[in-house]
């Protein structure tokens, strides 16, 4: 499959902390790739570099043949990359339909408010929130805020969707529904990168995993291969001598 996005030696430091250290990776069109690793391994920072929320200190990020490592976040969204956040970000005083419409207005195919709200309803149907389209987002539970944020990301009509722990905190029924929803997006051909700690979801959804630790990639392969790598086991569990 043709690469959709490529990272070449991407690094980012905060003072003396090397949050991302020479990360090189290729994501092909139509893939669902898990980006996994212990807490603090640099996964969310990597997403922030891709989306322009942070600027890399070095290295290149190439999306659809275009270097984006110095692009502003809104330009990267317009180019076709959308995301959800580890800490959910909705606009609480706006309705659900208005929240999703914002994604359409400022996404890859921008439009006016009326068309944006028309685009919003099918996406609210898809995430199970259509009956509440006219409610304010502040009325939602945490789980439904996650659904709303996903609908808003989809409204941007991305070619690449980045999910930052979107399945975290779900009960078993919600997790099953969430996995089914992401699987349906994958069947539609959407390329997805998932930062996730729910390994059942990684195994169910991802054809490939990239494992990070201390800012660096330490393994890559199918979920079974990557998670069984001795370096990955050590990163998660430590050495026996550490006890």
What average pLDDT does range 206-230 have in this prediction? 95
Whole-structure pTM over 0.85, yes or no? yes
Domain boundaries, the chain: 1-74+160-165+191-243, 81-158
26: Cα separation from own chain's centroid: 15
pLDDT > 60? residue 242: no
Q: How many helices (H) and strands (E) does the chain have?
A: 9, 10
**String of b and e for 144-161 (b: at least 16 CB within 10 Å)?**
bbbbbbbbbbbbbbbbbb
pLDDT 10s digits, 43-60? 999 999 999 999 999 999
Average pLDDT of the chain to the nearest whole number:
93
Beta carbons within 8 Å of 8's beta carbon, 6+ residues apart: 24, 59, 60, 61, 62
**Helices 113-126 and 96-105, packing angle to 10 deg:** 120
pLDDT > 60? residue 240: no
Residue 241 is predicted with a pLDDT of 47
CA atoms within 13 A on the CB side of 209: 26
pLDDT 10s digits, 225-239? 999 999 899 888 775
| CATH class name, domain 1-74+160-165+191-243 | alpha beta
């Amino acid at each position: 499959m043709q690469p959709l996005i490529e990272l070449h030696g991407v690094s980012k430091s905060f003072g003396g902390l090397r949050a991302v250290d020479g990360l090189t990776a290729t994501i092909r069109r139509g893939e669902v790739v898990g980006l996994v690793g212990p807490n603090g391994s640099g996964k969310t920072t990597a997403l922030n570099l891709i989306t322009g929320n942070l600027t890399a200190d070095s290295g290149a990020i190439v999306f659809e043949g275009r270097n984006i490592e110095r692009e502003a976040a809104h330009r990267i969204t317009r180019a076709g990359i959308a995301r959800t956040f580890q800490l959910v970000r909705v606009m609480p005083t706006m309705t659900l339909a208005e929240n999703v419409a914002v994604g359409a207005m400022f996404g890859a195919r921008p439009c006016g408010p009326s068309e944006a709200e028309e685009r919003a309803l099918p996406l609210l149907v898809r995430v199970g929130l259509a009956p509440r389209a006219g409610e304010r987002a502040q009325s939602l539970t945490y789980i439904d805020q996650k659904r709303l944020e996903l609908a808003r990301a989809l409204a941007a009509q991305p070619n690449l969707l980045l999910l930052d722990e979107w399945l975290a905190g779900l009960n078993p029924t919600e997790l099953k529904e969430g996995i089914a929803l992401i699987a349906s997006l994958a069947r539609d051909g959407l390329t997805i990168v998932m930062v996730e700690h729910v390994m059942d979801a990684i195994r169910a959804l991802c054809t490939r995993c990239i494992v990070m630790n201390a800012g660096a990639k330490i393994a890559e392969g199918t979920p079974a291969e990557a998670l069984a790598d001795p370096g990955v086991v050590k990163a998660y569990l430590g050495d026996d001598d550490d006890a």
